[in-house]
Amino acid sequence: MSKPVSKLPVKLKNAPRDTSLVSGSVNDGLNKDQSLSDHHRVLADNLGEENRLSVKRERHFSRLDVKVFVFNMRGNPLMPTTPRKARILLKNGKAKVIKRIPFIIQLNYPTAEFKQQIILGIDAGYSKIGFSALTEKSELIVGEVWLRTDISKKISKRRMYRRNRRGRLWYRKPRFDNREKSKPKGWLAPSIKYKLDSHIRLVKRINELLPITRTIVEVASFDIQKLQNLNITGVEYQQGTLFGYTIRNYLLEKWNHRCVYCKKTNIPLEIDHIVPRSRSGTDRVDNLTIACKNCNLKKSNKLASECSAKLRKTILGIQHQAKKTFKATTFMTMVKWKMIEQLDCQYTYGDVTKYNRIKLGLSKSHANDAFIVAGGSSQEFSRPFEVKQIRRNNRSLQKNRKGFNRSIRKHRYPYQPNDLVRYDNQLYRVKGTHCKGARVILFTPKQKVRTKSVSINKIEPVIYGKGLSFALNSSPESIHRFH
């Protein structure tokens, strides 16, 4: 396993051009008014608090450019070039376009394959991944990946359908192939394995675009019980919240044997989720409460904002009991070493990243964290990409076959949702297909009629929108919408 990268360098700034930058000790006797701008202390950057705002670095999106990625004749990545040089190569017929976003060209002639050292920084995360690839002078690619959040919900729905289907197969013999003892060592839940595989897939995708020489991943370790109780020690780690209680008895004691909504007592009470399971709520005891049957049915699977004023006030009053979930921290604790082992890369820690990011005056974001992880300091920024991970296949059962046996859609139409197509000299996103694949529904966000149906003979494919879908970010606050 590689050694961690955890250096905390301090560089001197604002020194005269002809001064030799030699490290030395500075004491209070040398801290004079004419030598330093801040009294009674020595600053590494020799700047007072009133001047620190000028040091802050930001990504000015209107001024940033995007590199054009270059492949050689064999399809291997070379150092990227500027859009101007790419236009000249395409105009002279010395290159051809491979992909639109990110823009990739392939050379039609043999060339020298000089490559610089490129360091790829990955800010691993549960819902977002930051990535940044740097050379000594500039940033070649940067962005954030939005991971899918519907894996667990789709697995639960599939389990429901399978349970119903197997209930009709009463004659089938029991099977024990998928029990816990049959799972191999190191088995991960599908939702967790998917996120781990997404990190690996992203690194491989960037290695296909650039000749990466070194990869550094930010990892972290979390003590979840310590996050909930800072004073926990010793045997208390073995005595959790429910120590000596069942779940129901604990909730009855916690809520004084009364319905939290109508405050009635001496009636049958049921366990209720404060944030419903269908709305990303968990089964943690902090998210559970006690309610009577009528109030439970009245609340149903609604959030506080969707209930009546009186019920909303009650839900908001107990909302603080539903503490923050620890899905992200648990994910990082489970997969960090698996990720490092599979990528065979170096790693660093979040506290080192935070220190260096604050020192450079960068705002908090996954892209900026990845920039710091890769060892960024004074490199020229690049415009970030926003990458959305979109489901590749739809294997749901057909629901419009009344009177017929169930069947799975096996025919794949040429145009799928999220594909980018050209129609009438304009670009549109495909929302769906109908008429047995003969027509597509195009999404038109800037028009009054949000959708239009067009024959497939009148459209031209531009980009297929499955898998990792790239888009350029135009401002720090913008969120790219994938229709």
How far is residue 325's CA from residue 342's CA, in Å, rounded to a whole number? 28
How far is residue 89's CA from residue 71's CA, in Å, rounded to a whole number? 13
Expressed in angstroms, the distance from the first to the final Cα of the chain is 42
Helices (H) and strands (E) in the chain, counts: 10, 17
Structure tokens at 445: 């966000």
Phi-psi group of 62: left, alpha or beta (phi > 0 → left; psi -120 to 50 → alpha; rest → beta): alpha
How far is residue 374's CA from residue 120's CA, in Å, rounded to a whole number? 6
Buried b (16+ CB within 10 A) or exposed e, 389-408: bbeeeeeeeeeeeeeeeeee
Specify the pLDDT at position 345.
93
Number of Cβ within a 10 Å radius of residue 129: 24
Specify the pLDDT at position 481.
31
Specify the pLDDT at position 280.
74
Predicted TM-score (pTM) of this structure: 0.72
Query: Binning pLDDT at 50, 70 and 90, where does residue 142 land?
Result: very high
How far is residue 128's CA from residue 402's CA, in Å, rounded to a whole number? 42
Specify the pLDDT at position 77.
94
Specify the pLDDT at position 62.
54
What is the sign of the dihedral through the CA atoms of 459, 463, 468 and 469?
negative
How far is residue 89's CA from residue 83's CA, in Å, rounded to a whole number? 10
How far is residue 1's CA from residue 227's CA, in Å, rounded to a whole number? 28
Specify the pLDDT at position 220.
82
Arithmetic mean of pLDDT, 98-102: 87
Task: List 289's β-bridge partners, or say none.
Answer: 272
- Give the residue from 198, 73, 64 showing the smallest Cα distance to 140: 64
Query: Binning pLDDT at 50, 70 and 90, where does residue 5 land?
Result: low
3-state secondary structure of 295: helix
Instruction: Specify the long-range contacts of residues 10-16, CB closer than 8 Å, at least 24 apart.
Output: 10/44, 11/44, 11/377, 12/44, 12/45, 12/46, 13/44, 13/45, 13/46, 13/47, 13/55, 14/45, 14/46, 14/47, 15/46
Query: Binning pLDDT at 50, 70 and 90, where does residue 455 land?
Result: very high
How far is residue 65's CA from residue 57's CA, in Å, rounded to a whole number? 17
DSSP letter string over 221-255?
---HHHHH-TT--GGGGGS-TTTT--HHHHHHHHT
Phi/psi of residue 455, nearest 5 degrees: -70, 145
CA distances from residue 483 to 152, 412, 429, 469 in whole angstroms, order as listed: 22, 20, 7, 11
Specify the pLDDT at position 312.
77
3-state secondary structure of 208: helix
Structure tokens at 467: 């898998």
How far is residue 268's CA from residue 259's CA, in Å, rounded to a whole number? 9
CA distances from residue 476 to 57, 383, 385 in whole angstroms, order as listed: 13, 10, 11
pLDDT for residue 139 is more than 90: yes
Arithmetic mean of pLDDT, 325-351: 87
Domains identified in the chain and CATH numbers: 1-15+43-178+190-228+323-386+468-474 (no CATH), 247-321 (1.10.30), 411-465 (2.30.30.140)
Phi/psi of residue 445, nearest 5 degrees: -70, -25
pLDDT in tens, 253-263: 888 888 888 88
Mention every residue, 6+ apart, whose C-beta is less than 8 A from residue 198: 129, 145, 147, 389
Helix or strand holding residue 85 (H, E): helix 83-91
Structure tokens at 64: 């940033």
pLDDT in tens, 10-50: 444 444 444 444 434 343 433 333 333 333 333 334 434 33
3-state secondary structure of 120: strand
pLDDT in tens, 460-469: 988 887 788 8
Query: Binning pLDDT at 50, 70 and 90, where does residue 405 land?
Result: low
